[in-house]
Amino acid sequence: MGYDRQLINRLENMAKQIRRDIVTCVGVGVAGHIGGSNSSADIVTALYFYKMKHDPSNPQMKERDRFLLSKGHVGILQYSALAESGYFPVEDLKHVKELGFYLQGHPDVIKTPGIEAGTGSLGQGLSIGLGMALGQKLDGLDSKTYVLVGDGEIAEGQIWEAAMAASAFHADNLVAIVDRNRLQANGKVKERFDSGDIIAKFLSFGWNVIEIDGHNMEEILTALDAADEVKGIPTVIVANTVKGKGLSFAENVVGYHNGTLTEDTYRQAMEELA
**Per-residue model confidence as pLDDT tens digits over 157-166:** 999 999 999 9
pLDDT (tens digit, 9 = 90+) per residue, 55-80?
999 999 999 999 999 999 999 999 99
pLDDT band at 2 (very low <50, low <70, confident <90, very high): confident
pLDDT band at 84 (very low <50, low <70, confident <90, very high): very high
**Domain tally for the chain?**
1
What CATH number did the domain enclosing 230 receive?
A: 3.40.50.970
CA angle 270, 120, 73 (to 5 degrees): 15
Which residue in 177, 202, 221, 140 sits closest to 40, CA to CA? 177
Distances from the Cα of 85 to the Cαs of 54, 100, 169, 262, in angstroms?
9, 23, 33, 29
* Domain enclosing residue 221, as ranges: 5-272
pLDDT (tens digit, 9 = 90+) per residue, 105-145?
999 999 999 999 999 899 999 999 999 999 999 999 999 99
Residue-averaged pLDDT of the chain: 97
Percent of the chain whose pLDDT exceeds 90: 97
What does the pLDDT average to over 39-62? 98
CB count within 10 Å of CB 4 equals 8
Does 1 have pLDDT greater than 80? Answer: no
DSSP string, 219-253: HHHHHHHHHTT--SS-EEEEEE--TTTT-TTTTT-
Distances from the Cα of 147 to the Cαs of 175, 186, 200, 237, 272, in angstroms?
6, 24, 19, 10, 29
What does the pLDDT average to over 243-269? 98
Contacts of residue 44, defined as CB under 8 A and 6 or more positions apart, other chains included, come to 18, 67, 77, 78, 81, 148
Query: So what's the pLDDT on residue 260?
Result: 98
Beta-bridged to residue 237, according to DSSP, are: 177, 210
What does the pLDDT average to over 191-195? 91
